[in-house]
Amino acid sequence: MIIDSLPQASRYDALHPLFPLACATLLRSDIASLPPGRHPLRGEDCVLVIAHDEGRGTGGAVLESHRRFIDVQFVLDGADCIGWRPAADCRTIVRPYDEQGDVALYGDAPLHWCTVTGPLFAVFFPGDAHAPLGGSGRLHRAVIKIRI
């Protein structure tokens, strides 16, 4: 897991060849005006998902993990509180790993919570169980999925 300020994102360019594209996309001046839904940036290897969601609070946020994608989470409006726990430490499986959706869901509680609001971004790798939508109120989010 990484949490940093978007203007510092270039320091992570070596993590994955598509990371510079992901960060440049988050820095676009028109990103907040994009319609909700999936926006392929490089086919299905790098996809931007724009979402308008209601925060569930820390009691309602559910840990999830992925095996094939890195999640880069950015909040365009509002403040999200995202939980984290190593996926290997999750013991309560709510939904077993679904290959097609690349997601598993857990009933365990996060070990750490972090508030993510502009200009901060968070990166979750396979192995990082994360619980988005732990904030409250309306959240306008951008999530970039990078295939590993």
Torsion of CA 147, 8, 121, 24, to 10 degrees: -50
Q: What is the tens place of the pLDDT at every residue in 6-25? A: 999 999 999 999 999 999 99
Domain boundaries, the chain: 2-147
H helices of the chain, where? 19-26
Q: Looking at domain 2-147, what is its CATH homologous superfamily? A: YhcH/YjgK/YiaL (2.60.120.370)
Q: What is the pLDDT of residue 118?
A: 87
What pLDDT digit, counting tens, does each position of 109-144 carry?
Answer: 999 999 999 899 999 999 999 999 999 999 999 999
Q: What is the pLDDT of residue 27?
A: 94
- CA–CA gap between residue 71 and residue 50 (Å, rounded): 13
